[in-house]
């Protein structure tokens, strides 16, 4: 549906149409593709030195003070298959979440989930890692929050159950496939679940008590994982 409005000068404005589009999802995808192309022409997306140069999660450098590496890995991918699969998933899932939560809430959930996932990896995994899957699992977590908060809405509950099955299948795959950073996925999932309560949604009210409890829990988890990562021996 296209919404048009007429301003005081009788001119047609297309801002309503823009607001209806999941432009945050498109922008995030655009950034990922741009970073992938830059990495490809400057040394490759599977080159360890290039991954570190562009901001992959690398524990020793985070401990050295490069804390921005808890954010930048979200936009970095290792190989074409990696960005293809994450890009397709974000394209479809991102549109749903952005529509339900609104543009800026969606962006908040995406970024906080990614940081939480990278912190979990920092705390529990010594491996170099990167990818938007931390944030994507956070979007799955946001759906779980919707299923719990709006349990009387059958459409939302049905969608939440579908994504719960998808989460279980993905975690099962993580366990049996080598090279997957399961800690980052679980961290992103929990981060997304909690930050979704804090952000709220555009179409209904979320319990203030739940929002406060979720916010405190998220902060405690983030601080705990950061301390664990800083004190770990790997």
Q: In the numeric block, which tokens belong to residue 82?
A: 């990696």
Q: Give the dihedral of Cα atoms 26, 30, 31, 36; nearest 10 deg.
A: 140
Please tell me the pTM assigned to this model: 0.89
| Catalytic pick among 121, 149, 185, 199 | 185
| Distances 28 to 35, 95, 138, 160, 186 between C-alpha atoms, Å | 11, 12, 15, 23, 21
Q: Is 135 a catalytic residue?
A: no
Q: In the numeric block, which tokens belong to residue 36?
A: 């992938």
What are the sequence ranges of the domains in the chain?
A: 22-231
Query: Tens of pLDDT along 122-158?
Result: 999 999 999 999 999 999 999 999 999 888 888 888 8
Distance in angstroms (rounded) separating the CA atoms of residues 30 and 73? 15
Q: Please give the pLDDT value at position 175.
A: 79
The CATH number corresponding to 22-231 among 3.40.50.300, 2.60.40.1180, 1.20.1540.10, 3.40.50.720 equals: 1.20.1540.10
Q: Please give the pLDDT value at position 19.
A: 66
Distance in angstroms (rounded) separating the CA atoms of residues 171 and 180? 10
| Catalytic pick among 133, 135, 149, 184 | 133
| CA count, 13 A, side-chain hemisphere, 222 | 17
Q: Is 133 a catalytic residue?
A: yes
Q: Please give the pLDDT value at position 128.
A: 96
- In this prediction, the residues of the chain whose per-residue pLDDT falls under 70 are 1-19
């Amino acid at each position: 549906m296209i919404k048009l409005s007429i301003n005081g000068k009788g001119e047609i404005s297309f801002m309503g149409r823009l607001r209806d589009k999941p432009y945050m999802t498109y922008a995030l995808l655009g950034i990922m593709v741009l970073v992938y192309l830059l990495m490809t022409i400057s040394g490759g997306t599977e080159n360890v030195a290039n991954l570190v140069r562009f901001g992959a999660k690398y524990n020793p450098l985070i401990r050295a003070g490069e804390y921005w590496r808890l954010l930048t890995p979200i936009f970095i991918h290792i190989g074409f298959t990696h960005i293809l699969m994450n890009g397709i998933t974000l394209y479809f899932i991102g549109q749903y979440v952005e529509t339900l939560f609104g543009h800026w809430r969606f962006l908040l959930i995406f970024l906080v989930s990614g940081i939480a996932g990278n912190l979990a990896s920092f705390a529990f995994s010594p491996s170099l890692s990167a990818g938007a899957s931390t944030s994507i699992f956070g979007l799955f977590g946001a759906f779980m929050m919707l299923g719990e908060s709006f349990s009387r809405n059958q459409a939302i509950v049905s969608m939440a159950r579908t994504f719960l099955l998808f989460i279980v299948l993905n975690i099962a795959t993580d366990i049996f496939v080598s090279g997957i950073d399961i800690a980052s996925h679980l961290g992103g999932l929990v981060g997304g679940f909690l930050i979704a309560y804090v952000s709220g949604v555009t179409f209904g009210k979320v319990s203030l008590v739940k929002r406060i409890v979720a916010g405190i829990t998220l902060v405690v988890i983030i601080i705990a994982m950061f301390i664990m990562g800083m004190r770990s021996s790997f």
